[in-house]
Structure 1
């Protein structure tokens, strides 16, 4: 079993118990990591209450608001983290968003504002979170993000999110080169489609899931726990020579021609 005892892990992007981020948080906790989690704030504290209740059994050191479109909020988050932890060992970035009406139909109908929003939340946020985490990653560490095959190949209806994931994957490489000087590794996990709240916004998602199960060599969908296992591995000392990589966790779908 992987041993992450003594390591701290900041996990972003938990929305509910179907989130890939939730699967990652569970596996990091099982491996012994000390967790801190964030939530997307709202006027009624629904996000805070939901994430606090969901993660209670994982005993996180903190549950903090983090709207990655707000630089002041990101700075405040890291200031609070600094009060709880001396360092960050693992940063998990599970953040992506696009307008639902731009995740179906013709890609050329993407709006300027929709393009900016998707790239800001889904790609730039990794850069900004790494900028804030760098001063606290004093003992090396691991940054892990989530991507999808739609960033390298055309997936019907994925549209603007495909562009955002392509940008995210290049962010991984540039950040790996930069942060490697302080022994911080940066990698992405390209997970196969999973039935989550986020994926439900993609047009014809059920057809996509069925096609995936038919084509993938393992003839099934990947699970949150399986993605979490890979994240735990990437955060561990077993992966100290791996950086700047996109690791496919998709039951082999990526190797197929259809």
Structure 2
């Protein structure tokens, strides 16, 4: 249709509709402060999380067989449920940023140094992120603009890891995942290596190459990073920081009503 219905108000109920090709999403809310734009953003994130699991090939599937139940293709809807809840609680979804854990400045610098060290580099790795649950501790990416990842794609990857409870499966995991704003038609390979299971600290590395050699290289990189963090006592410091505050947003409780604290993260790019 040239002018499709995007929203409907019925008393105190807002109904918002988002259509993306053969996929149609509907949100209904009676919460006064949730605007149409906010609900549209939530639906867009759900659309992207769906694509992260199925790629844009789902559009062709629905075009051929409109009655297809995509639940059978998903296998698990935990990431979709999680991203809907997270979008309500985390401001990073609204401003297209990555939630970041508050750390001592010198510790952050040292973490960045380790992630960007020559021993940790893998030529096919798009980014290496040290994370705690859904929060970022450190991040390095390639310098080339066409290989840099969007914050929303990284949020989807973090949400996928946490909602699927990948960390409980073992020390490391290698799984395909689509990053819609990077490339919606193909999967990249995501390597997750657990560094401290008790503190939920893990290393997330994303590669555009799915060969066994790449897995071995990422594993070697993870070991180099883990050894460096342990050798310099940084892993223990990170675990202590995590126990004190799990998210940067925890610091909002210290703010008065008339003020706010804003934490930003400066990205550091390294050459492959």
Same fold by TM-score, threshold 0.5 exceeded? no
TM-score normalised by structure 2 residue count: 0.26
1 or 2, which has the higher helix percentage? 1
1 or 2, which has the higher strand percentage? 2
Tell me which structure has the larger Cα radius of gyration. Answer: 2
TM-score normalised by structure 1 residue count: 0.27
